[in-house]
C-alpha cells in the first residue's frame, strides 16, 4: 500500500509543541508529514499586517524548519498573492506531491473562514480530505456561552464560566510528535518580498528572538521573576512587568494553553499573597479568548463596524494634521508621544499605553477609532484583529463591555500614575530628560520654566476636548 502523505497547513500556529492539527497529522505513524506555510503578501497588505510582524514570522520559520527537521517533517514555504489564489495553489501542490489529507487549525476571522471553506471544497473536488481543528483559544468559541446559548458580551461572567470549565476539565498540553519513521527533510522555500518589512536588526533579532525555545524561556522567566508581582507592576510603563509574549502568542510560536498551564502550576505552589499575580495574568489570557469569541459571536466587528452599532452615528473629526501628530508622537502630551515612539521603535507597546494613546486619539482628538486600529495593525509585531479591535473599541466606548463614554482618561494624570518618575518618557523622549519628575508629565504647565524646549506644545486642550466628546456621545443617546 502507498505510504500516506499528510500535510499540516500552518497559519497562526507556527510551532511543534501543543499543535492540535500537527498531532492529528502525525497520528498515523506510517504517514509522511509535511508542514506548509503560504505567504500571501498582497493579502497582508490589505489586512495592514505590519512589516515587523512579517519579519518576525520570516525569521521564525527558519528556526522552525530546523526543529521540524529533527522530527522528520519537511517545512515547505509557498507564496501566492492573496487568499483567492490559495485553493488552486494548494490543489496543484498537493496533487503533485501525492498528498492524501490536509490538517489545519481554524482561524476565526471572516476572510480566513471564507478562505478555508473554499479550500475545503476545492480539496474535496480532487479527493483530498481536509480536517479542521479548534486550537487557537484555550476554550474554543461556542463552548463558553450563556445559559440560553448566546455568546457573552460582558467579560466578568464570561471569565467566571471560562474558569469553571477549566477547573472541571483541566488543561491538556500536547507534546511535539515523535520523530517520523518515514521522513523527508528538505526545506522548500519560495522567497517572498513584503514592501513594509524592512526592520532594523536592533528591533528584530535583539528584542524579539525567534524560535519555540525563546518563547518558552520568555514565559518561564516572566512567571518565575515577575508573575507573582504582575498585578502591581503591569501598569507601570518603565518596568518589565508584563510577559511581552504577545508576538509569540499572535504567531502561535507558543500556545496560550502552555502559558496557562505554567501559570496554574506556579499559582498552585504560591503563597496566597502571590497567587493574585498569577490569577491576574490568567485573566489576561482570558481576555484573549474573550475577544476571539466576540469575533465569532458578533462577526460584524470584522467588517470595520462598531460593536454598538449606534455609535457609528458619531461624527468623528477629520483632521490629517492632528492624526499625523498622534502617529508621529508630536501631540505635546509626553506619555502619548513616548508611547507612540515605543511603537515605532520596537513594534510593541505596553498595554496601559495602548489604552492611553487609543483613548487620546478617540476622546481628546475625537478621531475615528478605525484609523487608530489600522495604524496599530500596521506597526504592531503582535497585531491581531480580535485583540486590536477589542482594545480600540474598548477605548472608544463603541465596543462590548467597553469603557463608559464618560470615563475619559486624563493623559497627564495617567502619565503620573503609570510613569511616576518619568523613566519611560525619558527613554523615548530624550529631549525631555532634563525636566524633573513633576514637570516631565506636563512640560508647559503654568509655572514650569520650559524655555527653549525642543518639544511641541499640546495640540489640544484636554478639558475642552472632553466636553466636546461628552456632548457628542450624549447627543447620540438622544437620537
Ligand atoms: C488599543 C489596544 C490595541 C491592542 N492591540 C493588540 C493586538 O493587536 N494584539 C495583541 O495581542 N494584543 C493587543 N492588545 C492587548 C494588550 O495590549 C497586549 O496583548 C499586551 O500589551 C501584550 O503585552 P504582553 O504580552 O506583555 O501582555 P501580558 O500582560 O503579559 O498578557 C499576556 C497575554 O495575554 C493577552 N492579552 C493581554 N491583554 C489583553 C487584552 N486586553 N486583550 C486581548 N489579549 C490580551 C496577550 O496575548 C498577552 O500576550 C491591545 C490593547 C489595546 C488597548
Cell of 361: 486619539
CATH number assigned to the domain comprising residue 44: 3.40.50.620
Shared domain check, 349 and 280: no
Please, are residues 253 and 14 in contact by the beta-carbon 8 Å criterion?
A: yes
The verdict on whether 316 is a catalytic residue reads yes
Distance 286 CA to ligand 1 centre (A): 11
Cell of 100: 492524501
Distance CA(138)–CA(172), nearest Å, equals 10
Total tally of structural domains belonging to the chain: 3
Tell me, yes or no, whether 393 lies in a domain.
yes
Tell me, yes or no, whether 373 lies in a domain.
yes
The residue nearest atom 30 of ligand 1, judged by CA position, is 243
Distance 208 CA to ligand 1 centre (A): 16
Residue 57's Cβ-count burial label (10 Å; 0-12, 13-18, 19+) is buried
Tell me, yes or no, whether 197 lies in a domain.
no
Cell of 320: 490629517
Distance CA(162)–CA(141), nearest Å, equals 11
Distance CA(378)–CA(77), nearest Å, equals 23
What's the DSSP call for residue 29? T
Q: Residue 388 CA: which ligand 1 atom is closest?
A: 5
Low-confidence ranges of the chain (pLDDT < 70): 185-187, 195-198, 200-202, 449, 478-479
Tell me, yes or no, whether 76 lies in a domain.
yes
Distance CA(267)–CA(281), nearest Å, equals 11
The parent domain of residue 292 ranges over: 137-174+212-297
Distance CA(170)–CA(8), nearest Å, equals 26
Domain final position from 247, 267, 297: 297
Q: What is the pLDDT of residue 471?
A: 96
Q: Which of 212, 369, 400, 442 is catalytic?
A: 369
Tell me, yes or no, whether 188 lies in a domain.
no
Distance CA(111)–CA(83), nearest Å, equals 8
Domain final position from 297, 324, 339: 297
Distance CA(140)–CA(84), nearest Å, equals 26
CA-closest candidate to residue 307, choices 291, 286, 323: 291
Q: Residue 385 CA: which ligand 1 atom is closest?
A: 8
Distance 291 CA to ligand 1 centre (A): 11
Q: Which of 9, 392, 394, 400 is catalytic?
A: 392
> Which residues form ligand 1's pocket by a CB distance below 6 Å?
234, 242-246, 249-250, 284-285, 287-288, 291, 351, 354-355, 358, 376, 380, 382-384, 387-388, 390-392, 395
Q: Calculate the alpha carbon distances from 433 to 109, 338, 343, 439, 448 in Å.
A: 43, 12, 19, 10, 14
Shared domain check, 255 and 124: no
Cell of 314: 458619531
Tell me, yes or no, whether 274 lies in a domain.
yes
Q: Which of 281, 287, 326, 348 is catalytic?
A: 287
CA-closest candidate to residue 285, choices 299, 267, 301: 267
Residue with cell 479568548: 289
CATH number assigned to the domain comprising residue 441: 1.10.579.10
Residue 321's Cβ-count burial label (10 Å; 0-12, 13-18, 19+) is exposed
Shared domain check, 335 and 470: yes
Distance 351 CA to ligand 1 centre (A): 6
Shared domain check, 162 and 142: yes
Distance CA(245)–CA(254), nearest Å, equals 9
Shared domain check, 65 and 143: no
Distance 187 CA to ligand 1 centre (A): 33
Rg (CA), the chain: 24
Pocket test for ligand 1, best of 351, 354, 373, 397 (most atoms within 8 A of CB): 351
Pocket test for ligand 1, best of 159, 207, 382 (most atoms within 8 A of CB): 382
Q: At what angle do helices 385-396 and 351-359 cross, to 10 degrees?
A: 50
Q: Taking the chain, what is the end-to-end CA distance rounded to the nearest angstrom?
A: 70
The residue nearest atom 52 of ligand 1, judged by CA position, is 391
The residue nearest atom 49 of ligand 1, judged by CA position, is 246
Q: Residue 290 CA: which ligand 1 atom is closest?
A: 43
Domain final position from 297, 322, 345: 297
Q: What is the pLDDT of residue 158?
A: 98
Distance 200 CA to ligand 1 centre (A): 23
The residue nearest atom 16 of ligand 1, judged by CA position, is 351
Please, are residues 425 and 437 in contact by the beta-carbon 8 Å criterion?
A: no
Residue 358's Cβ-count burial label (10 Å; 0-12, 13-18, 19+) is buried
CA-closest candidate to residue 66, choices 173, 175, 172, 176: 176
Shared domain check, 281 and 408: no
Please, are residues 138 and 285 in contact by the beta-carbon 8 Å criterion?
A: yes
Distance CA(133)–CA(18), nearest Å, equals 13
Distance 357 CA to ligand 1 centre (A): 14
Q: What is the pLDDT of residue 182?
A: 82
The residue nearest atom 40 of ligand 1, judged by CA position, is 287
Pocket test for ligand 1, best of 287, 387, 396, 400 (most atoms within 8 A of CB): 387
Distance 442 CA to ligand 1 centre (A): 27
Shared domain check, 121 and 74: yes
The verdict on whether 369 is a catalytic residue reads yes
Tell me, yes or no, whether 185 lies in a domain.
no
Shared domain check, 319 and 239: no
The verdict on whether 162 is a catalytic residue reads no
Q: What is the pLDDT of residue 1?
A: 74
The residue nearest atom 6 of ligand 1, judged by CA position, is 388
Please, are residues 316 and 345 in contact by the beta-carbon 8 Å criterion?
A: no
Q: Residue 256 CA: which ligand 1 atom is closest?
A: 47
pTM (predicted TM-score): 0.97
Distance CA(9)–CA(101), nearest Å, equals 11
Tell me, yes or no, whether 201 lies in a domain.
no
CATH number assigned to the domain comprising residue 170: 1.25.40.80
Shared domain check, 373 and 288: no
The verdict on whether 351 is a catalytic residue reads yes
Q: Which of 109, 112, 284, 373 is catalytic?
A: 284
Distance CA(31)–CA(282), nearest Å, equals 37
Shared domain check, 143 and 87: no
Distance 387 CA to ligand 1 centre (A): 6
Q: Calculate the alpha carbon distances from 259 to 140, 245, 272, 445 in Å.
A: 16, 9, 20, 44
Shared domain check, 270 and 145: yes
Query: What's the helix, strand, coil split of the chain in %, to 5?
Result: 55, 5, 40
Distance CA(400)–CA(307), nearest Å, equals 6
Q: Which of 111, 161, 351, 437 is catalytic?
A: 351
Shared domain check, 371 and 471: yes
Amino acid at each position: 500500500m502507498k505510504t500516506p502523505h499528510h500535510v499540516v497547513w500552518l497559519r497562526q500556529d507556527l510551532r511543534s509543541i501543543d499543535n492540535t492539527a500537527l498531532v492529528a497529522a502525525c497520528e498515523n505513524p506510517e504517514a509522511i508529514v509535511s508542514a506548509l506555510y503560504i505567504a500571501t503578501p498582497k493579502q497582508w497588505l490589505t489586512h495592514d499586517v505590519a512589516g515587523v510582524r512579517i519579519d518576525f514570522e520570516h525569521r521564525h520559520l527558519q528556526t522552525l524548519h530546523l526543529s521540524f527537521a529533527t522530527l522528520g517533517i519537511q517545512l515547505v514555504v509557498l507564496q501566492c498573492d492573496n487568499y483567492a489564489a490559495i485553493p488552486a495553489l494548494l490543489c496543484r501542490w498537493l496533487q503533485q506531491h501525492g498528498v492524501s489529507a490536509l490538517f489545519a487549525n481554524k482561524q476565526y476571522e471572516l476572510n480566513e473562514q471564507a478562505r478555508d471553506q473554499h479550500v475545503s471544497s476545492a480539496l474535496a473536488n480532487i479527493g483530498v480530505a481536509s480536517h479542521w481543528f479548534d486550537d487557537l483559544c484555550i476554550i474554543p468559541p461556542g463552548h463558553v456561552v450563556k445559559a440560553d446559548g448566546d455568546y457573552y458580551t460582558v467579560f466578568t461572567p464570561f471569565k467566571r464560566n471560562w474558569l469553571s470549565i477549566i477547573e472541571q476539565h483541566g488543561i491538556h498540553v500536547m507534546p511535539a510528535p515523535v520523530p517520523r519513521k518515514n521522513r523527508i527533510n528538505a526545506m522548500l522555500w519560495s522567497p517572498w518580498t513584503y514592501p513594509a518589512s524592512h526592520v532594523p536588526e536592533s528591533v528584530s533579532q535583539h528584542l524579539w528572538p525567534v524560535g519555540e525555545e525563546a518563547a518558552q524561556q520568555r514565559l518561564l522567566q516572566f512567571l518565575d521573576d515577575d508573575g507573582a508581582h504582575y498585578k502591581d507592576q503591569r501598569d507601570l510603563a518603565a518596568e518589565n512587568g508584563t510577559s511581552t509574549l504577545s508576538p509569540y502568542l499572535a504567531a502561535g510560536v507558543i500556545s496560550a494553553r502552555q502559558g496557562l498551564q505554567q501559570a496554574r502550576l506556579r499559582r498552585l505552589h504560591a503563597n496566597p499573597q502571590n497567587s493574585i499575580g498569577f490569577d491576574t495574568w490568567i485573566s489576561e489570557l482570558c481576555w484573549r479568548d474573550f475577544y476571539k469569541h466576540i469575533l465569532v459571536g458578533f462577526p460584524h466587528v470584522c467588517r470595520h463596524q462598531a460593536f454598538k452599532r449606534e455609535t457609528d452615528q458619531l461624527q468623528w473629526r477629520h483632521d490629517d494634521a492632528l492624526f499625523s501628530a498622534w502617529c508621529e508622537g508630536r501631540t505635546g502630551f509626553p506619555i502619548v508621544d513616548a508611547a507612540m515612539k515605543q511603537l515605532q521603535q520596537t513594534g510593541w507597546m505596553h498595554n496601559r499605553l495602548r489604552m492611553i494613546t487609543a483613548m487620546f486619539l478617540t476622546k481628546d482628538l475625537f478621531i475615528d477609532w478605525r484609523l487608530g486600529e489600522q495604524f496599530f495593525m500596521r506597526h504592531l509585531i503582535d497585531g491581531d484583529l480580535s485583540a486590536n479591535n477589542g482594545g480600540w473599541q474598548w477605548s472608544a466606548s463603541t465596543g462590548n463591555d467597553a469603557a463608559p463614554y464618560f470615563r475619559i482618561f486624563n493623559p497627564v494624570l495617567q502619565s503620573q500614575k503609570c510613569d511616576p518618575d518619568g523613566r519611560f518618557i525619558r527613554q523615548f523622549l530624550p529631549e525631555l530628560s532634563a525636566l524633573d519628575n513633576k514637570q516631565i508629565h506636563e512640560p508647559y504647565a503654568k509655572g514650569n520654566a520650559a524655555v527653549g524646549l525642543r518639544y511641541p506644545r499640546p495640540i489640544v486642550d484636554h478639558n475642552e476636548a472632553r466636553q466636546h466628546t461628552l456632548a457628542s456621545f450624549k447627543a447620540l443617546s438622544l437620537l
